[in-house]
A and B are shown apart, each in its own frame.
Chain A
Amino acid sequence: MAKSSATIAGVKVDTIRLLLRAIIFISIAGAAVSSRLFSVIRFESIIHEFDPWFNFRATKYLVTHSFYEFLNWFDDRTWYPLGRVTGGTLYPGLMVTSGAIWHALRNWFALPIDIRNICVMLAPAFSGLTAIFTYLFTKEMKDSNAGLLAAIFMGIAPGYISRSVAGSYDNEAIAITLLMATFYFWIKALKLGSILYGTITALFYFYMVSAWGGYVFITNLIPLHVFVLILMGRYTWKVYSAYTTWYALGTLASMQIPFVGFLPIRSNDHMAAFGVFGLVQLVAFGDYVRSNINTKQFKTFLTVSVVAVVLMGILGLVALTAAGLIAPWTGRFYSLWDTNYAKIHIPIIASVSEHQPTAWPAFFFDTSMLIWLFPAGLYLCFQELKDEHVFVIIYGVLCSYFAGVMVRLMLTLTPVICVSAAIALSKLFDVYLNVVELFTEEVEVEEKSSKKTTKQRGFPLFSLLAKAVVLLSFGFYLFYFVLHCTWVTSNAYSSPSVVLASRNPDGSQQIIDDYREAYYWLRMNTPEDAKVMAWWDYGYQIGGMADRTTLVDNNTWNNTHIATVGKAMCSSEEKAYEILRQHDVDYVLVIFGGLLGYSGDDMNKFLWMVRISEGIWPEEVSERSFFSQRGEYKVDGEASPTMKDSLMYKMSYYRFNELFGGDGTDRVRGQTIPAKNAPELSTLEEAFTSQNWIVRIYKVKDLDNVGRDLKQAAAFESGKKSAKKRGVKRPNLDIRLDY
């Protein structure tokens, strides 16, 4: 612009602009971070949900051991007695990042910060970085005004906040930052044809691969971009150098991650990138040939070579598939395109709620007004249609489809919505915010016309009004956008789910902290090598909070082992005792929400346990037998005998009636638990029950001293003790400190 030399009050405009931009950036980062802190303020600095607990535990292992020990980590405290090769089966990027930050703060800044706080705050901190990369990316698309808008959208859009609130210490927390960084450097490399930027793209791609399985999205999007550019006849040497640099270095680098290994040259997910790499070579060669021979010869050359290449490609594909070297037509390939395929053939995909299709309210919920500015932005991209705009369009259309098929891919759609909406809105502001031009134009008109006519428009009232209408209304919408984002974040995405909140009748908040109470009890009152059996949902939490060995956890890599736990839970006490003894189980933990009305408890997940174990032992476990006569899922008097005999039922309702002094009421299932025939336990004894009864822990009894079976022993004991009152519920033990 020509105004760069202008000054205001002796200061260069550019300097002021830079200063303003810096202030805006700091404000954006501040807004992005602070809107992610709801849960820290309401509850405390705590790791959320399930998977983050594993990441947290792995990070603790990393900072207490060396990096190489971490990569070779064989975890014997999970999947007892199998263990898990953890180091080779995780994406280490997240843990390494927070480990590096921890070391840097401690060694260079002499700030020894608890690793937990770094883990909790990592996602909000990276959201600030995401805003900066979104700014840079959008700046390549239009200009810095659009960039600033995109940055603030990205900072507070709920679609991204959903996975990056404080405490949500998951791979996605840093992956979206890396996604935007990779895309930014890719556009930069493509525009300049620069090997340096291509290398930086590859580096960020490597970081992304190390952090999240979703890197496959980049692996396919960039080749697709190049492919479309070639189809549009936009091949240049810049495309060649950017793509080949990225592909060669990025692929080699990604293969250094143990979990990825040789996937990039074998799995079908990576074949598109490989194919386009080959295509680029051919196109480059064709380009060279064309510059050296005449048009007619080139046409013949083109036809012959295209036929030859297609034939060779098909033959090669068939040969490699036949030789078993590649498996391009696996189930995963179909599941994204034919959604019914996944529903029938991959039940684990169908059963997880994150893999469900997205209904329209979710889109508006997560992006508010941006969702309808998004197509307008795409339209404007089409109007200009430079190479980088093609990228946004492909990204937008493709990702809309994926987000429609799978809820969790909303996360990857959000950045492009923000970018595209920012392009549309900044274009709008370009047109209507420029009040200065209005006056200067008017002056020119005056100069010309002043000689001829005596009367002219002095003040551009209409134009100003028109601009004011647009600016005010859109300012108002933006204000509402902020309200929307805050409301959504505060209501939907800020619950740690480890700590629950409920309202008392008088409206005051009550914190339900049963999980941590119970896990802390386990940590303090059980031997350090105690084995705790619980359903897999709680495996990571027990490992992370109670630091005890678990049989199964959220990694779910071994279905048989999960089924074993399910079988123990759904068989009768005597049968279960055998399984428990075989697996050295010391404690059994169940989640019970019947007293409080907490619906995510084990009795509601019980049928999955039955189903999974029925899948392995169909002759021993039958789902039908857990239903009442009328085929209903009952836990009251009508419950089937198998249900009443099952270990899960007994552990859930053991002594439940004593609370009511008669028939009890299960508040989740709305059924009455009869006091008659209350569950009796002989092989387990109640060890701990949390305040609201959400977590109940049972100790597995040792074999009887005099060789009776435990049922007889229990009957004998209770006969002897019948006059006495039952003992204290919580063992009175001395405080034990660990660490």
Chain B
Amino acid sequence: MQFGLLLWGWLVATVFAGLDVDTLRKVANSGGSGVIELTDENWEPVLEGPRDYTAILMMTTRSTQVNCVLCNEMRPYYDVISSSYRSEFPSGLPEDASQPEVFFFAADFVNCKTLFQKLQLSSIPKFYSLSAQDKASNWMKDMEEYAIMGEDQQHDLHKWVEKQSGVDFSLHIPKDYSQVITNVVLVAAVTIALYKIYNRYGAVWAASWIWSGLSIIAVLMFTTGYMFTKIRNVPYVREHSSGHKDYILSGQSQMQLGAETQIVSLIYGLLTLLVVLLIKGVPTVTNPAANLIGVAVVSVLIFVVYSMLLSVFGMKGLGYPYKFLQLI
């Protein structure tokens, strides 16, 4: 990647005097997935000028301010397709190939604002294919757009690239061995640790406080949308361009942020704790006055925390009419 950046610096310096296939191939093979990043300086010769290759272009962004969920979801697919192509044809297509070579480009909104302005995009991600051409032309009209639909985007996008470029290549999805190894090591470590503990303190295995703790934490997580954040890959917070951060998505009852799971599970946990305290803890205080103070404090806390919960829930915008205290 570093090398690639260096090469790009050099390329920019030579102002793309001749942006030929060999140079691009060098950049693309210089590491990573083979996707060539476009910036404000270098997109014009790639897209406008004459070229003897097919350009596949992804308009995307990794910026947390824009927070494009779909971009982050699609980018790995794109990378896999690009790296599959590059690993199959590292030094270009075979001599007798009738189709031009394919290069994969990606334009990030942050680095390539002029291109985004030119295309007047209202939504990203977008994928375009630009076929080889002899002279500069009205490329914006000629390019083909990929429609993001269906469920299996990896497969669909790959088929689309094949169709657009006329080059068939198979998809090599890299196996993430690191994760497998981590899992194996983790399971082994936990098993060994448990075995040791079991041998030394067999009672721990049967201790109800461990199990009750685990169960209650699990319930608190699951009932506050933890699985939602996992499945939907939602961001932890939403950043505005002004630097202001949203921890709670107000007005959207079907959506939530990662932080909301934490906030709400904290509230539920506090309430649970207070109720248990009221049932188990406070009655053990025998002095009536102290008992009254304890009860009063816990009750007030429950009231305040519950009010907080209602306020947070009210923010989710269902037109919910009930709340105790105006806290937020």
Interface positions of A (Cβ within 8 A of B): 232, 339-340, 343-345, 347, 350-351, 357-365, 369, 371-376, 378-380, 382-383, 385, 393, 396-397, 400-401, 403-405, 424, 427-428, 431, 457, 460-463, 465-467, 469-470, 473, 477, 480, 483-484, 487, 491, 607, 611, 623-624, 627, 631
Question: What separation, in Å, do the CA atoms of A428 and B212 have in the docked complex?
Answer: 19
Complexed CA–CA distance, A460 and B254 (Å): 50
> With A358-B225, A469-B296, A487-B321 in contact, do A396 and B215 touch (Cβ < 8 Å)?
yes
Question: In whole angstroms, what is the CA distance A520 to B323 when docked?
Answer: 46
How many Å lie between the Cα of A527 and that of B5 in the bound state? 74
**Contact in complex: A371, B279 (CB < 8 Å):** no
Instruction: Please choose the segment from B37-45, B94-102, B144-152 that sits at the chain A interface, where 4 or more of its residues have CB less than 8 A away.
Output: B144-152
Residues of A within 8 A of B216 (CB): 375, 378-379
Set A344, A369, A462: member contacting B289, Cβ < 8 A: A462
Known A380-B279, A403-B222, A462-B291; contact A487-B212, beta-carbon cutoff 8 A: no
Q: How far is the CB of B119 from chain A (nearest CB, A)?
A: 10
Q: Are A369 and B306 in touch, CB under 8 angstroms? A: yes
| Bound Cα distance from A378 to B299, whole angstroms | 21
B322 touches A487 (CB 8 A): yes
Residues on A with C-beta less than 8 A from B232 are 357
On whether the beta carbons of B147 and A375 are closer than 8 Å, the reply is no
Q: Are B220 and A401 in contact (CB under 8 A)?
A: no
Kindly list 20 other residue pairs between chains A and B, CB separation below 8 angstroms, not including A428-B275, A631-B147. Answer: A339-B230, A345-B152, A357-B228, A361-B316, A365-B318, A372-B309, A375-B269, A376-B275, A376-B279, A382-B211, A393-B215, A396-B219, A397-B218, A404-B222, A405-B227, A431-B279, A466-B291, A607-B149, A623-B149, A624-B147
- Bound CA span A369–B267, Å: 12
> Nearest residue in A to B120 (C-beta to C-beta)?
A630
In the bound complex, do residue A373 and residue B275 qualify as a contact, i.e. CB atoms below 8 Å apart? Answer: yes
Nearest 5 A/B pairs, CB to CB = A462-B288, A404-B227, A382-B212, A360-B225, A400-B222
Question: Whose C-beta in chain A lies nearest to the C-beta of B218?
Answer: A397
CB pair B322 A483 closer than 8 Å:
yes
Closest partner residue, chain A, to B154 (CB atom): A344
Closest B residue to A431 by beta carbon equals B283
Which of B150, B215, B260, B289 has a CB less than 8 Å from the CB of A397?
Answer: B215
Q: What are 9 A-B contacts defined by CB distance under 8 Å?
A: A358-B228, A359-B228, A360-B224, A361-B316, A365-B313, A373-B272, A376-B271, A405-B231, A470-B295
- Do A400 and B218 touch (CB < 8 A)? yes
Interface string of B196-233 (1 = CB under 8 A from A): 00000000001011011001101110111111101110
The distance in angstroms between the C-alpha atoms of A405 and B321, with both chains bound, is: 28
User: In whole angstroms, how far apart are the Cα atoms of A347 and B155 in the complex?
Assistant: 13
> Distance in Å from the Cβ of A473 to the closest Cβ of chain B?
5
Contacting A375 at CB < 8 Å: which of B260, B272, B279, B289? B272
The answer to whether B255 touches A359 (Cβ under 8 A) is: yes
> Of A343, A404, A424, which is within 8 A of B225 by CB?
A404
Instruction: Tell me, in angstroms, the Cα distance from A374 to B216 when the chains sit together.
Output: 9
**Main DSSP-derived SS at the B contact region:** helix
Query: Are B268 and A371 interface neighbours, CB within 8 A?
Result: yes
B292 within 8 A of A: yes
| B29 proximal to A (CB < 8 A) | no
Q: Can you name the residue of chain B whose Cβ is closest to the Cβ of A472?
A: B299
| A interface: dominant SS | helix
B212, A379: Cβ atoms under 8 Å?
yes
Taking the closest CB of chain B, its distance from the CB of A297, in whole angstroms, is: 23
Complex: A103 Cα to B302 Cα, angstroms: 53
**Taking CB as reference atom, which chain B residue is nearest A465?**
B292
Quick check: A364 and B313 within 8 Å, CB to CB? yes
Task: Verify if B264 is at the interface (C-beta below 8 Å from A).
Answer: yes
Residue of A nearest to B233 (CB): A340
Q: Which of B145, B150, B208, B269 contacts A382 (CB 8 A)?
A: B208
Bound CA span A738–B222, Å: 53
Is B296's CB under 8 angstroms from A361's CB? no
User: CB distance B272 to A358 under 8 Å?
Assistant: no
Q: With CB as the reference atom, state the residue of chain A lying closest to B228.
A: A357
* Cross-chain pair count, CB within 8 angstroms: 175
List chain A residues, Cβ under 8 A from B320.
487
Chain A CB within 10 Å — which of B223, B225, B269, B299 has the most? Answer: B223
Closest CB in chain A relative to B154 CB, distance in Å: 8
Choose one: A401, A404, A624; the contact of B228 (CB below 8 Å): A404
User: For B283, what are the chain A residues with a Cβ–Cβ distance below 8 Å?
Assistant: 431
How many angstroms between the C-alpha atoms of A371 and B312 in the bound complex?
15
- B288 → chain A closest CB, angstroms: 4
Q: Smallest Cβ distance from B209 to chain A, in angstroms?
A: 8
Task: Report yes or no: A401 in contact with B292, Cβ–Cβ below 8 A.
Answer: no
CB-defined contacts of B279 to chain A, threshold 8 Å: 376, 380, 424, 427-428, 431
Q: Which residues of B from 47 to 91 have beta carbons under 8 Å from A?
A: none
B110 interface residue per 8 A CB criterion: no
Q: Which residues of B contact A380 (CB under 8 A)?
A: 276, 279
B270 CB → nearest A CB, Å: 9
Q: Which residue of chain B has the shortest Cβ distance to A390 in the bound complex?
A: B211
Closest chain A CB from B268 CB (angstroms): 5
Taking a contact as CB atoms closer than 8 A, the residue among A365, A401, A424, A469 that contacts B299 in the complex is: A469
Residues of A within 8 A of B253 (CB): 359, 361-362, 365
Is the beta-carbon distance between B147 and A376 smaller than 8 angstroms? Answer: no
Contacts of B150 on A, CB cut-off 8 Å?
347, 611
Instruction: Say how far B262's CB is from chain A's closest CB, in angstroms.
Output: 11
A residues less than 8 Å from B271 (CB atoms):
372, 376
**What are the residues of chain A within 8 A of B165 when measuring CB–CB?**
none
Q: Which of A358, A365, A405 has the most CB of B within 10 A?
A: A358
Selected from A382, A611, A627, the residue in CB contact (under 8 A) with B215 is A382
> Quick check: B151 and A375 within 8 Å, CB to CB?
no
Whether, in the assembled complex, B303 has its beta carbon less than 8 Å from a beta carbon of chain A, the answer is: yes
Give per-residue flags for B278-296: 1 if the beta carbon is below 8 A from chain A beta carbons, else 0.
Answer: 1110010000110110111
B229-265 at interface with A (beta carbon < 8 Å): 230-232, 253-256, 260-261, 264
The minimal Cβ–Cβ distance linking B153 to chain A, given in whole angstroms, is: 9
B322 touching A344, Cβ below 8 Å: no
Question: With A and B bound together, what is the CA distance between A631 and B126 in angstroms?
Answer: 10
Question: Closest approach, in angstroms, between the C-beta of B254 and any C-beta of chain A?
Answer: 6
Q: State whether A397 touches B288 (Cβ < 8 A).
A: no
A357 vs B294: C-alpha distance in the bound complex, in angstroms?
40
Closest A residue to B208 by beta carbon equals: A382
Considering the chains assembled together, what is the distance between the CA atoms of A216 and B309 in angstroms? Answer: 35
Look across to chain B and name the residue whose beta carbon is closest to the beta carbon of A425.
B275
A653 vs B287: C-alpha distance in the bound complex, in angstroms?
A: 79
Closest partner residue, chain A, to B315 (CB atom): A361
| Chain A residues, CB < 8 A from B275 | 372-373, 376, 424, 428
Q: Are B288 and A460 in contact (CB under 8 A)?
A: yes
Contact indicator A477/B261 (Cβ below 8 Å): no
Task: Name the B residues within 8 Å of A340 (CB-CB).
Answer: 231
Nearest CB on B from A363, distance (A): 5
- Chain A positions within 8 Å of B288 at CB level: 457, 460-463, 466
Chain B neighbourhood of A607, CB < 8 A? 149
* Residue among B206, B225, B256 facing the most chain A CB atoms (10 A cut-off): B225
**Cα A345 to Cα B319 with chains together (Å):** 37
Q: In the assembly, what is the distance between CA of A460 and CA of B256, in Å?
A: 49
Which single residue of chain A is at the shortest CB-CB distance from B289?
A462
By the criterion CB–CB under 8 Å, are B211 and A371 in contact?
Answer: no
Q: In the complex, which residues of chain A have a beta carbon less than 8 angstroms from the beta carbon of B231?
A: 339-340, 343, 357, 405
What are the residues of chain A within 8 A of B267 when measuring CB–CB?
372
Using Cβ atoms and an 8 Å threshold, which residues of chain B touch A232? 206
B147-175 vs A, Cβ < 8 Å mask (1 yes, 0 no) = 10111101000000000000000000000
Residues on A with C-beta less than 8 A from B313 are: 361, 364-365
Contact for A477 among B292, B296, B306, CB less than 8 A: B306
